[in-house]
Amino acid sequence: MSIFIKTTPIYVRLFSDRIEAVRLDTGVSITRAAIEKHSNSRLVLAYFDPAVNLLRSILHDLRPPKYKFYPPSFQLLMQQMEKMEGGLSQVEKIAMGNLGEVCGGIRVTVIEHSRPLSIDEAIELLNSIAK
């Protein structure tokens, strides 16, 4: 028997001590500044636990209301927007992927450029990856 898990598509942009997320199926957007810093002078994602707490709070508010008894499943498109001189290192990509998974991402995709995507571009990218 196969169980189909419905995922909620979210586009997450990481900045120094700030995270923006857009729920791609509804267009609802949340931006939150970190209370506890997750960045330092060199890295956007320098401290993992504060980033987890911030992203979890955002995803909690973006989750579909029907998930009262079951945890929501997210399809996350993660993008670092700052401090990308020379591109992302393998360690930075892994850390962003792990951040997404720890916060409920069933499928987490990390993109490496810092050009913001439109909602349509983000949906198209996630759809092309799902195939």
Q: Percent of the chain at pLDDT above 70?
A: 90
Candidate CATH numbers 3.40.50.150, 3.30.420.40, 3.40.50.300, 3.40.50.620; the one for domain 8-130? 3.30.420.40
Residues 99 and 120: beta-carbon distance below 8 Å = no
Tell me phi and psi for residue 72, to 5 degrees.
Answer: -70, 155
Domain residue extents for the chain: 8-130
CA distance 105 to 7: 9
Structure tokens that stand for 23 in this block: 């729920």
pLDDT in tens, 36-94: 999 999 999 999 999 999 999 999 999 877 756 666 789 999 999 999 888 899 999 99
Structure tokens that stand for 55 in this block: 């992203």
Q: What is the pTM of this model?
A: 0.90
pLDDT at 5: 65
CA distance 89 to 72: 30
